[in-house]
Chain A
Amino acid sequence: MKKTPPPVLNAQTSPIADLSYRGYNGPLKLHAVRWWVVALYTIRRARRSVGFWVLTGVCALSYLFHALGFYFQHNLSSLSPSMHQVFAQTLFSVMNGSLNEYAVMGIALLLGAGSIAADNRANALMVYLARPITRTDYLAGKWSGLFLILYSVIAIPSILYCLTAMTAFSDMHILQQDHWVFVHILLAALFPAVVLTSLILGISAWSKSAFSAGALFASIYILSNTIAGILGMVLFRKQPDKANLLSHCSLSGLMDAFAQRVFHFNMKQPMLGRGPFAFTDTPPVLLRYSLIPALVIVVLCLLAAHQRIRAVEIVKG
């Protein structure tokens, strides 16, 4: 049978794809969920950041380190009067210990400093806000994206730690001792994530450079910690109550105070002039001393950010 040759395709008359311009008639999402696009974009950008994974690794290491420490303490439980107190303290350290605290601060700085500042610098706000989204949608998206990252980085290792302890040391009956341990973890993780996210975004919105926003954020964080810590230690001998309150007058201090209140335990405070290993137990401060300043910081930062996020600069003459 005679075969018919295949038709010769003419590239000019039969293009593979129609490259001409066409309108879009596809589906559209509801306006109410547009902020989530901004949040997802923030999360996607974070996933591609090497620095973020390094710092997350530091948080995970902290969890492993504390889990190991708890394992040894548990096996030598005669050294510790109450393993539950030790467990609470270790859980607190997993969430708020220096290593973890600075790693979380680093993540907030790395992802948050340039979050709005980079858009300011690149004039991208005009393009974004020329879409059907409001300033509030944009800010809500940026905030929730960063918040979810920080919240996950704080809460997930803590939950893992708790699960490890529950399965490895079943004799401790952790859930029976504290039925709400997971709720407490989720609650304690909420506080630093909300405060750090709001503060860094408030600073970022008023800046055109990620570097300057990051430098300001780090300065506020480290200086407030250092000053409050020194004042607390100096005053401790004369006015221990005041000193305890004063030592919490920093970003880190507020977070510690809230977590301490949630987990109900006394924190060990170094005593100045009593040798390198002299510590004293400090009881948790009242909840309002941590909640009210944090609320003020969050509200002021979000209002400042909202005020600054504009599609165009309007100079009134």
Chain B
Amino acid sequence: MTVVSISSLTVRYGARIALDGIDLEIPEGCIGLLGPNGAGKTTLIKTLLGFVRPASGICSVLGKNCVNESLAIRQHIGLMPELDCHIPGINAVTFVAYAGELAGMPASYAMGRAHEVLEYCGLGEARYRNVETYSTGMLQRIKLAQALVHGPELVFLDEPTNGLDPVGRDEMLALIRDISRGKGVNVIVSSHLLPDVEKVCDRIIVMQGGHVATEGTVEDLQKADSGLMDVELRETNAAFAHCLAQKGVQVLHTEGSRLQVSFPADTVAGKMLFEAAKESGVQIRGFKSARRSLEEVFLNTVERNGKA
């Protein structure tokens, strides 16, 4: 099922175009929204929430139109904003229960549910303390709890690990992973921290300059271009790299007996590798399509689109 469907969506802020005719289908699961500052990520989230009116195009969330049915959409979504949003002088239970009541839950249900989600988010007994006494990690947990209190089908998490220490970050990522796996909650994570996105997301969308630069599953995007391969030899052999170079294969980098090589287009990689191994008298232990880190994927995409 498609969670978000966008067709030719354009959003303008006066003369400036923030989203430029994007087309996008976001399936169920945990989706990472990446992009440099000003790419249009936040504008996209605001538009999906119905806060910003598109200049043209159609967008729907959970099958409902963002312009005409924004209230119905907001009944089924949760938002964890990047900025702190806590009212001083009230405790976490009151804050989260109030958020639940605003979503239409009767007061007693909202209170019960606030305790449940705060416990789930790891606040424990600290939930009775006033919010201004909380650490950054605790504040992030409250923001997550208020987004989950009414049992949304889709949650937008804007920089969920901002300001967290490594332990807190891992715990937050574990929570996000947990809610997005088999709990009926779809998650869209907007973050600059690519390792975090890599840890929790099934798919990523890279935005740049108001366009969708690339999208796909994390696994697919991490697979390098078909010509890029990781090769492992039994032992270090300089002649092998020399033979490959003679055949027009570019050796990108060597680390001991491991090499990363780039084959020209329309070549059969296996055949060329074995020929070079035979010529240089070396044994190949294995080879596979090279996997790039998400950071490399992101930087390559941004660079490629920047040039275009």
Chain A residues within 8 Å of B, Cβ to Cβ: 17, 19-31, 34, 37-38, 41, 45, 118-119, 122-124, 126-134, 310-312, 314-317
Contact = CB atoms under 8 A, between A and B. Distances in A.
B49 A311 contact: yes
Interface residues of B, number: 48
Interface in B96-131: 98-99, 101-106, 109, 113, 116-117, 119-120
A21 B74 contact: no
A314 B47 CA distance: 12
B88 A122 contact: yes
Given A316-B13, A317-B13, A37 B88 contact: no
Contacts of B85: 122-124, 126-127
Interface of B: 13-16, 46, 49, 51-52, 71-72, 74-75, 77-79, 81, 83-88, 90, 98-99, 101-106, 109, 113, 116-117, 119-120, 143, 146, 148-151, 178-179, 183-185
B41 to A, nearest CB: 13
Contacts of B149: 24
25 contacts: A19-B120, A21-B120, A21-B183, A22-B116, A23-B183, A24-B149, A26-B109, A28-B103, A28-B105, A37-B98, A37-B101, A41-B101, A122-B85, A122-B88, A126-B85, A127-B81, A127-B99, A128-B102, A130-B49, A130-B74, A130-B78, A130-B79, A131-B102, A134-B71, A316-B16
Most buried by A among B87, B88, B90, B102: B102
A163 B145 CA distance: 50
B87 A122 contact: yes
A316 B116 CA distance: 41
Contact of A126 (B13, B79, B150): B79
A23 B106 contact: no
Contacts of B183: 21-23
B51 A28 contact: no
Contact of B86 (A124, A131, A316): A124
A132 B103 contact: yes
Nearest to B12: A316
A204 B37 CA distance: 32
A132 B75 contact: yes
B106 A27 contact: yes
A124 B51 CA distance: 14
A218 B265 CA distance: 77
Contact of B51 (A23, A25, A129, A317): A129
Contacts of B113: 24, 26
B74 A123 contact: no
Contacts of A29: 104-106
Contacts of A27: 105-106, 109
A132 B78 CA distance: 10
